[in-house]
Structure 1
């Protein structure tokens, strides 16, 4: 089963938690044991799993990525968004999460985040649920 999520981002760098939306897709699938595959088909965005209990973690990630890979730099890519491409490579564009008893097997403090690095935009996330 494949579903698409639409994520509307509000600023150039925007980390949006999508855990509940992904769990809803798992629920709709009716699959109780398997794998949830999440893929972002964009070259300036990504997806990752990290702490969702303290909102400061998200801010720390955004600020640290900006310090490491500043928007304005000596890049060769002429479109002006080279930093977004580099951040996407570091964060990655896919992740897998096991499903057990119909629930994503995330840790107590874990959430799934869509990472926008070239916003604001409307993006899509592909979620595939595989039984097994």
Structure 2
């Protein structure tokens, strides 16, 4: 397993980790297989989506804030209940194909660590089999 260290600098943001994941795959990949990209944090998610236009990330975060507002009378008293729910909605991992020893993504796709309770240091785990 490869552990990628990233650091968010805002409460909510989508951090593009595509190149770090590609590098991890190249170091450990079989010719054909599956790459699991996961995060161990309960207030983060992993998603694959368009990486070319940053407005996609802006729109995604904005609409998640509308769907799950930060201050909505949650029972959990740490002030980050919305972060937990956003992470649950997106999920903590993505599985991607590996072919020819290379990560396979669509033309516009990128891999994002979605931070919902930053800023703070985070990890992305990459496992290839």
Q: Give the SS at the match of 2:73.
A: coil
Aligned to 1:76: 75
Structure 2 spans left out of the alignment, 5+ residues: none
Structure 1: gaps of 5 or more residues: none
Cα distance, 1:30 vs. partner?
Answer: 4.5
**Partners of 1:17 and 1:85 in 2: CA distance:** 20
Q: Is the 8 A contact 2:29 2:128 kept in 1?
A: no
- Cα distance in 2, alignment partners of residues 109 and 120 from structure 1: 27
User: For this pair of structures, how many residues does the alignment match?
Assistant: 129
1:100 aligns with 2:99: yes
Instruction: Give the Cα separation in 2 of the matches to 1:27 and 1:40.
Output: 20
| TM-superposed deviation, 1:103 | 1.6
Deviation readout 1:14-46 (Å, 9 max, x if unpaired) = 110000000000111152211101111011001
Q: Which residue of 1 aligns with 2:127?
A: 128
Matched, 1:3 2:2: yes
CA RMSD of aligned residues (A): 0.8
**Aligned partner of residue 5 in structure 1, secondary structure:** strand
Q: What's the CA shift for 1:79?
A: 0.8
Q: Identify the residue that residue 63 of structure 2 maps to in structure 1.
A: 64
Match of 1:23 in 2: 22
| 1:45-102 Cα deviation digits (max 9, x unpaired) | 0100000111110100011101111111111101111000000000100110010112
Aligned residue for 2:110, secondary structure, equals strand
Give the structure 1 partner of residue 109 of structure 2.
110
